[in-house]
Structure 1
Amino acid sequence: MRPASLALTTVLLALLGMFGPFSIDTPFPAFAAMGEQFRVSDAAMQLVVSAYLASFAAMSLFHGPISDAVGRKPVMVTGAAVYALASIGCALATSLELLLVFRVLQGMSAGAGTIVSRTVVRDLFEGARAQQLMSVVAMIFALGPAIAPIMGGWLLLVGPWPLIFWFLAIFGATIAIAVLVLLPESHPREERSPLHVRSILGNVADVSRLRRFQVLSAAQAFSFAGQFLYIAAAPIFVVSLLGKGPQDFWIFFVPMVGGMVLGSFTNARLANRFDGHLLITAGQCVAITGAVTGMVLAFGPGAATLPWAVVGPTAIAFGTGISLPVYQLALLDAVPHARGTAASVSTFAMLLLNAVLASVVVPVAATSLGRLAATSLGLLLLGITLFHVHRVGARATPAPSLQPEVP
């Protein structure tokens, strides 16, 4: 692939991954205005996040297997187009119930870009080169959580909250056109599986039953959960606990995203020098150190003052940026004949956990800075424990393989 084509493909794959942070973080500054218009509580507004995440998780089981059967490109184009239509529905919603319906449709379609784009990286490249490209995609993708809430705050200065969803509609339509015109198909016809419901469900069930894949997926999900807890709690963390306003979300997202970008950059620089499992362990140790530091600061004097309030989340993001690209490649390589399915199942596990965090854990953990920091530390410790359980199992047993089904 020529350098110009590689650069264009890398940027486009990163933009496909931004459906997630744009969908979750851009509406955050508008939560107060939306809640006032719909006459609902802060707890009810959390459903705007959890409804999206739950539907994203449910549909994520199918985007990858369908892309294994029909190719990556048709799935990504269709998903982006449906996402644009769902965003228009959100902009026109006149009640929380109607907004949640279209948020569910947003979640069901957004995963087509987020999940399948990750598989394209592994289709095109191998080894350290794939890890480097995944890290570069992660660096660009990490800008999403910083840009999205700031852009949401700016859009609120221009007009009412539906303007945010009109922006998301334009974003989805632009991505659909760009993928259709610019992105090559990376999954050749001779390697595709049959497009049968029974075959797709069977592949999902087969991958889900792999014990080592289960443990590795859980390790990735809980390792990222330590950072996602702060992201899901951002409206409470920034406004209620730190006492800031709708235009102040940058004070949390900019340093956190800076940590994520720096972590991904570190991963790319070390890809040719260190084993992937060592990078995962190093990244998790950095994240846990950051979580402990954040908890100590949260229980100390001046906990709600800057920059101390964001030191912990920023360090956690740095560690996550180091480990996450390796996790994603390891999960794809665990099932080499069904990478789309592997991406779907692992994403389902992560997003199901994130939906629980947003709807159940955040309202309890975000009652104080100390409780939020302690919960994040607990999630990270569980993630690194599961990863080492996976490592012990990998040494004890050979890796299983799944062959593609024959129609």
Structure 2
Amino acid sequence: MKKVSVPSLMLMIILVAFPQISETIYTPSLPDISKALNVSSNATQLTLSIYFAGFALGVFCWGWLSDIIGRRPAMLWGIVTYGVGSLLCYMANSIELLLISRFLQAFGASTGSVVTQTILRESVDGHKRHVMFAQISAVIAFTPAVGPLVGGWVDQAFGFKAVFFTLVVMSIGIFLYAFTALPETRASSTTNKISIFLVLKRIITDSKVIAFGLLIGGTNGILFSYYAEAPFIFIEYFKMSPGLYGFLGIVVALSSIIGANLSKRLLAVYIPEKIIYIGCLVMIAGATLLSVIVLTGTNPTVFYAVVILVAIFLLLLGIGIALPNCLSLALVNFQDVVGTAGALFSLGYYLLVTLIICGMSQLHTGSLIIMPLYFLVLVVIMGITSRMFIYRAK
């Protein structure tokens, strides 16, 4: 059997990170967009929600398509679609066109997530795969915080249109890099005629895969719910400036990076299933500490803000420990249909991410206690799931 080529780690990092940057880079421009298009802030915020909708549909389509036409063509066509969507965002002169453009942009960007994971799952085995997922997860954890900083600077210097033009230029660079450096990794044994319904049946009847989906969707849901709720906590309640808050995002993102690196080191001592369980316990400890802190103090002082950050750091540290191993192990029994399985699996957990974020927005009242209690319920469910279906099963 012909040996499958392994793409460079740098290429994999770029391909899996650009969708995250595209999601958050323009958020500092939302007020300017609202004024320029003469619409309410609520209407402008829909451009965030519709990104997830396009992304969820995209991970299914590109993952399934990669089993039919190959990983490389699916990646390249997805990047082209992303570039067209970014160009339309730049040209949009109405909220309706901007919403359509963001959907298309996300639809194309999702290939960077689902196809990259598929490539890693089929071209890298065992311990090395766990390590690569940990390294990539460390970068992914940082990109949502970098996006607003870059976007804020570009918007301040050149206006919000320049932010979308930056994404157009980025899409061209990524396409050229992938075109010259990305090999085809689909094995010749992978069939071109795959029944989506049969693959779906295999997934929904596998309790461990469902458990991994719950953990991956839950951790990502918590992460992006935090990014949605944090501005109301630190800017409105603690009266931080947007600039200071942007720097704060980088500090917080370090927790996930440290967690991912710690996960990689723990692989020398523990099996991945146990590391996932350890990560869940750390998340529970962080959410519990955060709830206790918020329940026992209400003064908007610097010390109180720092203590809250310590608890959030612990919570996100647990996510960084657990998530890489969940991504690595989730579809180990689906190598024969890994593209389609990855498509269906990603669709499921991204829908869960969307539901969790929507839940956070519905529960938002301005009270500090809502987010900690919401997160505590979620991490306890994830901890129980990990113990019952993943670690014990092993």
TM-score (norm 1): 0.87
CA pair 252-220 structure 1, distance change in 2 beyond 3 A: same
CA contact 1:331–1:343 (8 Å) conserved in 2: no
How far is 1:279 from its partner?
Answer: 0.2
The worse-fitting range, judged by mean Cα deviation, of 360-369 and 336-345 is 360-369
In structure 1, the gaps of 5 or more residues are 396-407
Are 2:200 and 1:205 equivalent residues in the alignment? yes
2:318 is matched with which residue?
A: 319
CA contact 2:259–2:318 (8 Å) conserved in 1: yes
Are 2:258 and 1:262 equivalent residues in the alignment? yes
CA contact 1:49–1:358 (8 Å) conserved in 2: no
Q: Deviations over 1:272-329 (max 9, x none)?
A: 3201111001111111211122222333133574423432332222111111111011
Are 2:299 and 1:302 equivalent residues in the alignment? yes
How far is 1:337 from its partner?
Answer: 1.7
Are 2:190 and 1:192 equivalent residues in the alignment? yes
CA pair 52-124 structure 1, distance change in 2 beyond 3 A: same
Q: Deviations over 1:117-140 (max 9, x none)?
A: 112222222111110111111222
Are 2:364 and 1:365 equivalent residues in the alignment? yes
How far is 1:187 from its partner?
Answer: 1.5
2:390 is matched with which residue?
A: 391
% identity of equivalent residues: 23
Q: How does 1:113-262 map to 2 (within 5 A)?
A: 113-188=112-187, 190-194=188-192, 199-212=194-207, 213-262=209-258
CA–CA separation in structure 2 for the residues paired with 1:242 and 1:21: 27
CA contact 2:51–2:102 (8 Å) conserved in 1: yes
CA–CA separation in structure 1 for the residues paired with 2:231 and 2:95: 17
How far is 1:360 from its partner?
Answer: 4.5
CA contact 1:30–1:161 (8 Å) conserved in 2: yes
CA–CA separation in structure 2 for the residues paired with 1:24 and 1:373: 24
CA contact 2:252–2:313 (8 Å) conserved in 1: yes
How far is 1:204 from its partner?
Answer: 4.6
In structure 2, the gaps of 5 or more residues are none
CA–CA separation in structure 2 for the residues paired with 1:366 and 1:181: 50
How far is 1:193 from its partner?
Answer: 2.1
CA pair 309-166 structure 1, distance change in 2 beyond 3 A: farther
Aligned AA (1:264): A
TM-score (norm 2): 0.90
Q: Deviations over 1:16-52 (max 9, x none)?
A: 1113321221112112222233344444333111101
CA–CA separation in structure 2 for the residues paired with 1:239 and 1:69: 48
Partner of residue 290 from structure 1, selected from 286, 291, 294: 286
How far is 1:86 from its partner?
Answer: 0.4
CA pair 301-102 structure 1, distance change in 2 beyond 3 A: same
The count of corresponding residues between Structure 1 and Structure 2 is 386
1:356 is matched with which residue?
A: 355
CA pair 392-122 structure 1, distance change in 2 beyond 3 A: closer
The worse-fitting range, judged by mean Cα deviation, of 248-257 and 373-382 is 248-257
CA contact 1:283–1:321 (8 Å) conserved in 2: yes
The worse-fitting range, judged by mean Cα deviation, of 18-27 and 38-47 is 38-47
CA–CA separation in structure 1 for the residues paired with 2:53 and 2:135: 28
CA contact 2:284–2:383 (8 Å) conserved in 1: no
Give the RMSD, CA atoms, in angstroms.
Answer: 2.3
Q: How does 1:17-36 map to 2 (within 5 A)?
A: 17-36=16-35
How far is 1:363 from its partner?
Answer: 4.5
Tell me the secondary structure at the aligned position of residue 336 of structure 2: coil
CA–CA separation in structure 2 for the residues paired with 1:242 and 1:33: 24
How far is 1:249 from its partner?
Answer: 3.7
CA–CA separation in structure 1 for the residues paired with 2:21 and 2:156: 18
Tell me the secondary structure at the aligned position of residue 18 of structure 1: helix
How far is 1:221 from its partner?
Answer: 1.4
Are 2:267 and 1:279 equivalent residues in the alignment? no
CA contact 1:225–1:379 (8 Å) conserved in 2: no
